[in-house]
Amino acid sequence: MRFTDKVCLVTGGTSGIGQAACVRLGAEGGTVIALGRDKKDGAETVRLIKEAGGQAVFMACDLAKPKAIETTVQKVLVKFHRVDVLVCDAAMMTFEPLVKLPLEKWDLLMQVNLRSLAQLTQLCLPHMPRGSAIVAISSVHAHQTTAAVVPYATSKGGLEAFVRGMSRELDFRQTRINAIAPGAVDTPMLWSNPNVKNGNEKIDKATVGKPEELAAAIAFMASAEASFIHGTTLAVDGGRLAQL
């Protein structure tokens, strides 16, 4: 039980990889705070965590709104007093060529995918005890991307640079920070991608990962077993990047 008595805050916790991470952390003894926008989905996540033997609460939070992030972290600290594990999974994508993309969409995506990571790190760090960990969810799109998803790929490249930079500011014995870069994973985000639907991005269903496989990697990177891993990105992609 690697997360017994650990307070685990997970963004994007109501579907896909984030939800699987919540269930895994809870099953390993963690008290999970799942963040998301939809209360119904949040209730389902809490049910799954409790069914797996964990403890959980859902808190509604729109990561596009900095004030909402600040308020939510304050609620977490009032209730739990600390954050042992921070998993930043929530993300959005756009599917337009850059020349056709309204810059308001660029700004919104960067707010959700990148600025929220910086804000959550800034707010949580003073309340993260020795042995704590931050795991940020990147993407193979930071390294190998397709047309019409430039903002998403840019945000994930920035996320990995953030992780590397923050590792120089943190004592890894106090708080570690790392990233996970998933490949194609069986989530709503993958199958709703227009590039996948129209065949511009080829997906071999035989090599698509499961959310639970990503959750296992997240749990490892957040655990004391990874105590000497700091400032790096772990690709969990079924070998996709190895084919470059």
Continuous segment of H or E residues that includes residue 34? strand 31-36
Question: 89: closest CA among 231, 2, 219?
Answer: 219
For residue 19, is it within any domain?
A: yes
Q: What pLDDT, in 10s, does the model give residues 3-45?
A: 999 999 999 999 999 999 999 999 999 999 999 999 999 999 9
pLDDT at 197: 66
Average pLDDT in the 172-201 region?
83
For residue 72, is it within any domain?
A: yes
Question: 2: closest CA among 232, 172, 220?
Answer: 220
For residue 36, is it within any domain?
A: yes
For residue 1, is it within any domain?
A: no
Q: Which residues are catalytic?
A: 152
For residue 2, is it within any domain?
A: no
Mean pLDDT (the chain) is 94
Question: 179: closest CA among 125, 127, 139, 211?
Answer: 139
Residue 129 domain boundaries = 7-243
For residue 85, is it within any domain?
A: yes
Q: Please report, for the domain that includes residue 194, its CATH number.
A: 3.40.50.720
**Number of domains forming the structure of the chain:** 1
CB 230 within 8 A of CB 172: yes
pLDDT at 200: 67
Q: What pLDDT, in 10s, does the model give residues 125-179?
A: 999 999 999 999 999 999 999 899 999 999 999 999 999 999 999 999 999 999 9
Question: 2: closest CA among 213, 221, 180?
Answer: 221
